[in-house]
A and B are shown apart, each in its own frame.
Chain A
Amino acid sequence: MQRYSGFSLVKHALSHHENWQRHWRNPAPKKEYDVVIVGGGGHGLATAYYLAKEHGITNVAVIEKGWLGGGNTARNTTIVRSNYLWDEAAALYEHAMKLWEGLSQDLNYNVMFSQRGVLNLGHTLQDMRDIQRRVNANRLNGIDGEVVTPERIKEIEPALDVSARARYPILGASWQPRGGVARHDAVAWGFARGADALGVDLLQQTEVTGFKMLDGKVVGVHTNRGDIGAKTVGCVTAGNSGTLAKMAGFQLPLESHPLQALVSEPLKPILNTVTMSNHVHGYISQSDKGDLVIGAGIDGYLGYGQRGSFSIVEHTLQAIVEMFPVFSRVRMNRQWGGIVDTTPDACPIISRTPVRGLYFNCGWGTGGFKATPGSGNVFAWSLAHGQMHPIAAPFSIDRFRTGALIDEHGAAGVAH
């Protein structure tokens, strides 16, 4: 792999930048791999990368039916934070946060991770009680956070309307300075390039059509490019996980919903942070290009169409204008939808399944991007050891039968 550096930039300038190496190979599928990862989004590529890098398992394929990072990895609003309420979830997201902090160096790829801070606004007394409880829980778990007053919020984010005149006056917020945003495509590309360099085969335009089983154990996958053998299979397929589970003969407690996002025309820098509001129900940040990146709630119905209803877009923008009246005449440029796999407790499923050798990492719902490195890291450990990583263990499918749910609806940022 050609390493990127200031020196390489100068060197390639001499040859008019025509000799840069391709990011990854486009190999033909082998007959058999030690591990097959189904799904070439951020989480799947991260899993492959950490399998190769930390566990020395390089005979790995990532199977992607479209192109790398073309699903929710490319459709989210790129927010990264770790201020979750319960110990189990906080450990998982904070594990990811620590990996984010060194990720560009680790991958030799600029993922443009920008720790500009995340505000979660409170508009009611109950909001503020929940925020205080969550910030205290965060601090006990070693996660940065503080409860800030409207005056302090005004210093952090001057464009925000913190006046008492607002329809839903802002009473305070939780503030996580280490939160921020990252460049979503670069995360997928960086992990893909790193995994490829370590020998992982990235098989694009390859769709899994079924699983090969032998005595209750998975031994490979059927694809539209022929059968591929595998000792272990990890599915990291977000909104399509339910469909894959059905192929393997079991059910997952997932519901697939459209989640929409939109970006505005580019503006001069106006937002310093990521601002989220559970109560008026929207979140916003500004990309380095200048567009306002906006999202809100899911469409309530099931859908696989990667689009949602127009009314949700309207509600989203109402929320944004409630928080930032100054944006009332900003024009929106693009709008799109992704399919999120929501679980009953708003926490992911990282788990063994009834089929031996088959693992699922799914159910990230509306907030999976922030966990990309951590999710890949603990899932790779689990696949390599044949047992669940201690951080991943509480996220087993079994919790929906034992009742040991991890209810993160409150800290999931916006109510869904």
Chain B
Amino acid sequence: MFYIYCPYCAEYREEEEFHPKGQAHIARPLDPMATSDDAWGDYLFFRDNPRGVHHELWVHAVGCRKFFNVTRDTRTYAILETYRIGEQPSVTADSVSTGSAASTATLTGVQA
């Protein structure tokens, strides 16, 4: 069970209030008609699916109903950071592998 910090409500809430919505930071191609089939297929169907640090979109479905981003480890299920839409993550796969994550992550969730 996750205990998730909603960056809009500024509170920890139980997982049941939220829904995961897949990978975060996927930009829709600006000119779909000019996009090749390969690039459109990538946009629609191909996801990173990493074993490790993953940036994902969640919605606070029965709370404030806002979308926000979560950085989570898909092996340990530990939530490393939550941040608002439009912001960039401060914890990434690179920062975790170099060991700087623990100091920069300000909002840590309780792991499952």
Contact = CB atoms under 8 A, between A and B. Distances in A.
Contacts of B41: 400-401, 403
Contacts of B48: 251
Interface string A232-271: 0000000010110000000111111000000000000000
Contact of B15 (A302, A309, A403): A309
| Majority-rule SS of A interface residues | loop
B77 A303 contact: yes
Interface residues of A, number: 24
A165 to B, nearest CB: 28
Contact of A309 (B1, B22, B37, B75): B1
A4 interface: no
Nearest to B54: A302
Given A300-B20, A309-B112, A310-B1, A253 B74 contact: no
Interface string B82-110: 00000000000000000000000000000
Given A302-B56, A304-B75, A311-B15, A344 B45 contact: yes
A251 B50 CA distance: 11
Interface string B15-35: 110011010000000000000
Contacts of A309: 1-2, 15, 112
A199 B40 CA distance: 45
A311 B62 CA distance: 15
Interface string B33-66: 0000110110011111111001010000000000
A70 to B, nearest CB: 18
B46 A307 contact: no
A73 B9 CA distance: 42
B22 to A, nearest CB: 8
Nearest to A344: B45
A102 interface: no
B46 A302 contact: no
Contact of A401 (B1, B37, B76): B37
A401 B46 CA distance: 10
B40 to A, nearest CB: 8
Contact of B74 (A251, A305, A344, A403): A305
B74 A400 contact: no
Interface in A290-346: 300-305, 307, 309-311, 344
Nearest to B75: A304
A5 interface: no
Interface string B69-82: 00010111100000
A402 interface: yes
A301 B72 CA distance: 10
Contacts of A242: 49, 51
Nearest to B112: A309
Nearest to A302: B74
Contacts of A240: 51
Contacts of B22: 255
A400 B46 CA distance: 8
Nearest to B47: A255
A65 B74 CA distance: 20
A251 B46 contact: yes
Contacts of A310: 1
Contacts of A300: 19-20
B85 to A, nearest CB: 18
Contacts of B54: 302
A66 to B, nearest CB: 16
Interface string A273-305: 000000000000000000000000000111111
Contacts of A301: 20, 56, 72
Contacts of B38: 401
A311 to B, nearest CB: 5
A81 B75 CA distance: 32
Nearest to B49: A242
Interface of B: 1-2, 15-16, 19-20, 22, 37-38, 40-41, 44-51, 54, 56, 72, 74-77, 112
Given A252-B46, A403-B37, 15 more contacts: A251-B48, A253-B46, A256-B74, A302-B50, A302-B54, A302-B74, A304-B51, A305-B75, A305-B112, A307-B112, A309-B15, A310-B1, A311-B1, A311-B15, A311-B16
Shortest 5 CB-CB distances between A and B: which pairs? Answer: A401-B41, A301-B20, A253-B45, A300-B20, A242-B49
9 contacts: A242-B51, A252-B46, A254-B47, A254-B49, A301-B72, A309-B112, A311-B1, A400-B44, A401-B41
